[in-house]
């Protein structure tokens, strides 16, 4: 099962579904409807399968499979409603719609979280909550239109009346509103307690689907804006990639200094590294690094990451070679890694984090404490 803070989403959704099944079973006993008793008990048992596998067999069920079986359980409930199993329950439709609205809210929150985390959008917590609300409600409205279309074409009976439709929308809005309010505090505090692990991982693998690749003009504007901002916990400048500007010689320590910053960004909250810019924000360029062309520069930089950090972290590191003031520079954008990252050197592996505008090496107890706190999953 999903561990850590992100487990909250799973607990909330699962709790709502179990609540529905519990009340349904009680209703079935009172009204003497054996079929509903059997269906609700089977579905309720299924919700405990991941827990049983973990406790008895020590088997973890991946988040993706949990989503599938949750959809299966929810499908049982929906089919039961269509077949009239739960007719006479005035609260049944309310619980079904409220649960679906909570799920939609978490999907919207997860999308906004990914966009916000990877600097695809920059909004205040208030407007972030509005985006979560708008996205989830839009999906719900599209579903109501879908039901209306089916009713019109094949007389499916999904929408019994205009009042029924408006009641569904009102209940869904209430559920989404609750998640949006929670999303406001989520964005404000910068945590990911209410984010769905499954949707977050899926969206991060297909981040290009959510946003288009920035044009070179936009990258140049970002580069210059970062210089104006100056060095912070998420911005750092490096004068060169591999050349010691004092000696004019290639220096492995210069390369490792760049890689230390990248590792620190990955282990903290991400950040931007500008190579070819000195500490004062002056653009020096990479000419003294002696690369024949941009392809040679990109290949060398990629190989450094592969050898000293690891292939598995390449998706978290993006870079662009930019010509500013007739000088070639590199803009490196690092995402926050959900897995600890070490810098591999000749003397072993080293762990770095950001502390203000500096990359700090951790070892001993400080390293253990940081890893246990940061990478709970």
Residue-range domain boundaries for the chain? 7-208, 215-374
Indicate whether 39 pLDDT > 50. yes
Question: Which whole-number Å values give the CA distances from 14 to 126, 195, 374, in the listed order?
Answer: 28, 15, 26
Residues 6 or more apart whose Cβ sits within 8 Å of residue 283: 227, 276, 277, 324, 325, 327, 329
Residues 6 or more apart whose Cβ sits within 8 Å of residue 357: 231, 232, 233, 235, 236
Is this structure's pTM higher than 0.75? no
Confidence of residue 4 (pLDDT cuts 50, 70, 90): very low
Q: Per-residue pLDDT averaged across 124-148, rounded?
A: 83
pLDDT tens for 141-160 read 887 887 788 778 877 566 77
Helix, strand, coil percentages, rounded to 5, for the chain: 60, 15, 25
- Beta carbons of 102 and 196 less than 8 angstroms apart: no
- 10 Å CB burial of residue 356 (0-12, 13-18, 19+) is exposed
Averaged confidence pLDDT in the chain: 79
Dist. CA 129–CA 147, nearest whole Å: 27
* Higher pLDDT pick, 28 / 274: 274
Ranked by mean pLDDT, which of 69-78, 103-112, 287-296 comes out on top? 287-296
CATH 3.30.950.30 fits 215-374, yes or no: yes
CB atoms under 10 Å from CB of 40, counted, come to: 26
Closest among 313, 293, 297 to 305, alpha carbons compared: 313
In this prediction, residue 122 carries a pLDDT of 62
């Amino acid at each position: 099962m999903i561990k850590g803070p992100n487990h909250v989403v799973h607990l909330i959704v699962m709790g709502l579904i179990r609540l529905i099944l519990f009340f349904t079973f009680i209703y079935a006993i009172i009204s003497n409807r054996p079929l509903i008793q059997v269906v609700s008990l089977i579905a309720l048992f299924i919700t405990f399968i991941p827990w049983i596998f973990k406790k008895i067999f020590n088997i973890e069920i991946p988040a993706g499979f949990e989503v599938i079986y949750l959809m299966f359980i929810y499908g049982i409930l929906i089919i039961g409603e269509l077949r009239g199993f739960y007719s006479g329950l005035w609260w049944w439709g309310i619980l079904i719609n409220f649960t679906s609205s909570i799920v939609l809210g978490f999907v919207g929150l997860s999308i906004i979280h990914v966009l916000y985390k990877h600097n695809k959008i920059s909004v205040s917590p208030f407007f972030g909550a509005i985006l979560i609300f708008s996205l989830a409600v839009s999906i719900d409205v599209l579903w109501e239109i879908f039901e209306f279309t089916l009713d019109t074409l094949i007389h499916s009976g999904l929408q019994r009346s205009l009042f029924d439709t408006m009641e569904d929308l009102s209940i869904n809005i209430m559920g989404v509103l609750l998640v949006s309010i929670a999303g406001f505090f989520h964005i404000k505090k910068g945590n990911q307690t209410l984010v769905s692990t499954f949707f977050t991982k899926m969206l991060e693998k297909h981040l290009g689907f959510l946003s288009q690749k920035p044009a070179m003009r936009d990258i140049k504007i970002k580069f210059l804006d970062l210089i104006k901002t100056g060095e912070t916990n998420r911005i750092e400048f490096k004068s060169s990639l591999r050349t010691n500007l004092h000696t004019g010689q290639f220096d492995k320590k210069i390369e490792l200094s760049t890689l230390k910053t990248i590792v620190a960004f990955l282990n903290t909250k991400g950040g931007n590294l500008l190579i070819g810019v000195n500490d004062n924000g002056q653009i020096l360029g990479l000419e003294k690094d002696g690369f024949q062309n941009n392809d040679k520069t990109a290949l060398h930089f990629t190989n450094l990451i592969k050898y000293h950090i690891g292939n598995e972290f390449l998706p978290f590191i993006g870079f662009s070679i930019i010509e500013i003031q007739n000088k070639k520079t590199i803009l490196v954008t690092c995402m926050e890694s959900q897995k600890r990252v070490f810098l591999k050197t000749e003397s072993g592996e080293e762990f770095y984090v950001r502390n203000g505008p500096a990359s700090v090496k951790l070892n001993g107890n400080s390293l253990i404490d940081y890893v246990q706190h940061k990478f709970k999953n």
